[in-house]
Amino acid sequence: MQSDSAETAQAGTLGHASRGSEAAAAPGVLVILGASGDLTKRLLMPALYNLACDGLLPAEFAVIGMARRPLDTTAFREQQRQDIQRFHTRRDFDADRWAWLESRLHYTSGEFGDPEAYARLRDTVLAVGGDSGAAGNTLLYLAISPEFFQTVNGLLDEAGFTQLPGSRKIIVEKPFGKDLDSAVALNRSLLTHWREDEIYRIDHYLGKETVQNLLAFRMANGMFAPLWNAAHIDHIQISATETVGVETRGEYYDKTGVVRDMLQNHLMQMLAYVCMELPTSLEPSAVRDEKSRLLRAVRLFDPASAARDCVRGQYGAGTKADGSAALGYRQEPNVDPESNNATYAALKLHLDNDRWAGMPVYLRSGKALWKRGTEIVVQFKPQPGDGGEPNLLIFHIQPFQGVEIRMQAKRPGPAFELQRAGMRFDYAETFEATRGTGYEVLLYSALNSDPTLFSRTDFVEDSWRIVQPVLDLWKDTRAADFPNYMAGTWGPLAAHALLARDGRRWHECITRDVLLRSEFFANAPAVLLNNLTLACQPRAVEAGATVVERGEQSSDLYVVCRGELEAIGGSGERLGVVKAGECFGEMALLDNRPRNATVRAVSPCDLLVLAAADFRRIVQDFPQAEAEFRRIAAQRR
């Protein structure tokens, strides 16, 4: 276990009126190595601009960029001035605040392998730090490819950066290694030149307010504390899904894959915050100790358990949410046309400690899926009177930010009938805040020498130990079924089977925008959409699967999100097709009659299912819904 000696944050001088009770960060010099790249213009500079607008940067602050591009300070400022117009995240651009920040930008060019470049950089840091009053707190941000980390660290040390007066921090971006061995080697290389308390390994997910709120939620809301264990929680799901494919990142992604890109870092961070023991204080060492202790409690996979409890997928050609065609992974630019790389993964984890023994945690992440979203779903064990529906606590991380409780409530009326209901805290409706990049709080913390939100050596290596057996298994065995899910769908069917085997299912957090893709709900009032998002359940079916049989008396309403189905008559004739955005089964329910056709999937399909009881309840509560269903059904005929 590495120890942290958290340095006391210095009191900074306000460079602008500070926001609320927050003080400006400590004075300091931020050195960005790789300053001409995408990370700087898309994330770092907009984050610094946001901090400047909120009065959270001190007057004694400077930025020094270094990169291969032969620019001077004037040209660098001009470049950043153009880029910030495109990439800032605020509603309105504050030219005065940007001018304040721009005046603090400096630049020196140099090759990353050239010792003389680092000598010039050191001279620049000392000069700028002395002139601006920011000396004594130097942050070295490696916004460069990991292949340069070892070289750059050695040359920084040779140039004297590890001996600069005052506080020194080196900030390292992910990916931190490509496997356990390379991560250990990289850590050893860093620790050769820097102390553990000087190394700030950054994971931008920890800059998200909703991820930080996981700890606040647990520490500040004692009513949940007695329930936060395997005796009351059935299981936990952590999902991070994306609608986009790899697009222009094929060269990087084909060497990385979903486990390295998402599970080993982002999802492990969220797992730690949700499941760790509460720290005795918010001191950085206390928080980081508990995070690492939690990861060490994760049962490591052996080859048999990895094959049983881990699912991989790769997307094929499909359809985007807007209806346009989507390439398959192997057709993306700079991707091997026979690639065995996984773009989807689902893992079942076990935590071997007193709090969580016997309770599984399911992780999943994937590209080119039906919905973008990061959610943590805590499903509680059913209790007498729950009406058969489990209570859910859902942390919405992105793009919607908030916390939601799904429970049972009595329906209005004289009869005692229960109905699913939800209570939701929404960040956008509660706090007045400008959308950030996720890097603001991380840069602010680094200036203040607060390592709480940065990963320590043991956490990084423990997270690699968890996923390394999975990477080894998938590297040594070729997936015979790739691609095994279409772009725009809910992922491989094997991922649904992983939970179904345990009598569980993935909780797809359906949002209004998903329902509004269907013409049936385009004009629905908000209260009806709220009812539908709580009542609809996902279902994935393979091509050739029968969804309903002709003659069934009782069934459900189905909304087609992806794929195509055909209706088959009693003599086997094809009566018609049902496509994405359409639904079927509504007339049999409305008229209380048997199904007049068999419906079978022509292609793999993703469906939303509204149970018959919920359908009848909604039609009863919203008569206009029945009229709309009948109108559209008549048009279809």
The full set of domain ranges for the chain reads 28-173, 207-372+451-500, 512-636
The answer to whether residue 62 scores a pLDDT higher than 50 is yes
More confident call, 561 vs 357: 357
Residues 397, 210: contact at Cβ < 8 Å? Answer: yes
71 vs 255: CA distance, rounded Å: 32
Give the pair of three-digit tokens for residue 205. 């997910």
Residues 69, 112: contact at Cβ < 8 Å? Answer: no
Q: Which of 131, 142, 143 is nearest to 106 (CA)?
A: 131
Show Cβ contacts of residue 386 under 8 Å, excluding neighbours closer than 6 positions: 408
Q: Which of 251, 351, 299, 369 is nearest to 606 (CA)?
A: 369
The answer to whether residue 206 scores a pLDDT higher than 70 is yes
Cis peptide bond prior to 333, omega within 30° of 0: no
392 vs 422: CA distance, rounded Å: 9
**314-318: average pLDDT:** 95
The answer to whether residue 612 scores a pLDDT higher than 70 is yes
The separation between CA 619 and the C-alpha centre of its own chain, rounded to angstroms, equals 36
Average pLDDT of the chain?
89
pLDDT of 21: 53
Q: Is the domain 207-372+451-500 a CATH 3.30.750.24 member?
A: no
546 vs 565: CA distance, rounded Å: 9
Going by pLDDT thresholds of 50, 70 and 90, the confidence category of residue 637 is low
pLDDT of 143: 93
The answer to whether residue 265 scores a pLDDT higher than 70 is yes
Q: Which of 75, 158, 175 is nearest to 122 (CA)?
A: 158
The answer to whether residue 463 scores a pLDDT higher than 90 is yes
Total Cβ atoms within 10 A of residue 444: 24
pLDDT of 636: 63
Range 592-612 burial, b when 16+ CB lie within 10 A, else e: eeebebbbbbeebbbbbbbeb
Instruction: Point out the least confidently predicted range of 60-64, 563-567, 578-582.
Output: 578-582
Residues 432, 445: contact at Cβ < 8 Å? Answer: no
Q: What CATH superfamily classification does 512-636 receive?
A: Jelly Rolls (2.60.120.10)
Q: What is the per-residue pLDDT across 183-202, written as a single tens digit (0 to 9) for each?
A: 999 999 999 999 999 999 99
pLDDT of 96: 97
Q: What is the per-residue pLDDT across 284-307, written as a single tens digit (0 to 9) for each?
A: 999 999 999 999 999 999 999 999
Beta-strand relationship, 360-366 and 105-109: unpaired
**321-325: average pLDDT:** 79
**448-472: average pLDDT:** 97
pLDDT of 158: 96
Cis peptide bond prior to 483, omega within 30° of 0: yes
Residue with tokens 């909703």: 210
318 vs 368: CA distance, rounded Å: 9
pLDDT of 19: 44
Task: Sheet with 564-568: list strands edge to edge.
Answer: 546-548, 598-601, 564-568, 574-579
The answer to whether residue 541 scores a pLDDT higher than 90 is no
Range 301-329 burial, b when 16+ CB lie within 10 A, else e: beeebbeebbbbbbbbbbbebeeeebbbb
The answer to whether residue 78 scores a pLDDT higher than 70 is yes
Alpha helical stretches, state H, 450-550:
457-476, 493-500, 512-515, 526-535
Instruction: Point out the least confidently predicted range of 340-349, 554-563, 601-610.
Output: 554-563
**396-424: average pLDDT:** 82
Residues 45, 83: contact at Cβ < 8 Å? Answer: yes
pLDDT of 10: 30
pLDDT of 8: 30
Residues 528, 622: contact at Cβ < 8 Å? Answer: yes
More confident call, 241 vs 592: 241
Going by pLDDT thresholds of 50, 70 and 90, the confidence category of residue 237 is very high
DSSP-derived letter for residue 381 is P
Q: How many residues does the chain have?
A: 637
pLDDT of 449: 96
Residues 149, 142: contact at Cβ < 8 Å? Answer: yes
What does the H/E/C string look like for 417-434? CEEEEEEEEEHHHHCCCC
pLDDT of 385: 60
C-alpha dihedral (566, 570, 573, 575), degrees to nearest 10: -50
Residues 606, 540: contact at Cβ < 8 Å? Answer: yes
Q: Which of 129, 123, 189, 130 is nearest to 159 (CA)?
A: 123
Residues 237, 379: contact at Cβ < 8 Å? Answer: yes
324 vs 146: CA distance, rounded Å: 35
More confident call, 308 vs 320: 308
263 vs 469: CA distance, rounded Å: 13
Q: What is the per-residue pLDDT across 357-368, written as a single tens digit (0 to 9) for each?
A: 999 999 999 999
The answer to whether residue 239 scores a pLDDT higher than 80 is yes
The answer to whether residue 519 scores a pLDDT higher than 90 is no
The answer to whether residue 626 scores a pLDDT higher than 60 is yes
**15-22: average pLDDT:** 45
**227-251: average pLDDT:** 95
Q: Which of 318, 311, 307 is nearest to 342 (CA)?
A: 311
Which three-class secondary structure state does DSSP give residue 170? strand
Phi first, then psi, for residue 207 (nearest 5°) are -85, -10
121 vs 33: CA distance, rounded Å: 10
Residue 5, class by beta-carbon neighbours within 10 Å (0-12 exposed, 13-18 middle, 19+ buried)?
exposed
418 vs 548: CA distance, rounded Å: 27
pLDDT of 4: 40
**530-539: average pLDDT:** 82
Give the pair of three-digit tokens for residue 245. 């494919």
More confident call, 451 vs 617: 451
Beta-strand relationship, 392-398 and 485-486: unpaired
Q: What is the per-residue pLDDT across 380-398, written as a single tens digit (0 to 9) for each?
A: 998 776 556 889 999 999 8
Give the pair of three-digit tokens for residue 299. 């049962």
Residues 506, 394: contact at Cβ < 8 Å? Answer: no
Say what the pTM is.
Answer: 0.88
pLDDT of 146: 83
Give the pair of three-digit tokens for residue 212. 């930080």
| Domain at 28-173, CATH class | alpha beta
More confident call, 335 vs 9: 335
pLDDT of 338: 96
The answer to whether residue 314 scores a pLDDT higher than 50 is yes
506 vs 533: CA distance, rounded Å: 15
**559-568: average pLDDT:** 89
Going by pLDDT thresholds of 50, 70 and 90, the confidence category of residue 171 is very high
Phi first, then psi, for residue 108 (nearest 5°) are -140, 135
Give the pair of three-digit tokens for residue 186. 């990289």
Going by pLDDT thresholds of 50, 70 and 90, the confidence category of residue 2 is very low
**465-489: average pLDDT:** 95
Show Cβ contacts of residue 221 under 8 Å, excluding neighbours closer than 6 positions: none
Going by pLDDT thresholds of 50, 70 and 90, the confidence category of residue 212 is confident
The answer to whether residue 20 scores a pLDDT higher than 70 is no
Same fold, 28-173 and 207-372+451-500: no
Residues 290, 279: contact at Cβ < 8 Å? Answer: yes
Active-site residue list = 266
What does the H/E/C string look like for 39-84? HHHHHHHHHHHHHHHCCCCECCEEEEEEECCCCCHHHHHHHHHHHH
Q: What is the per-residue pLDDT across 137-160, written as a single tens digit (0 to 9) for each?
A: 999 999 998 888 889 999 999 999
**514-539: average pLDDT:** 78
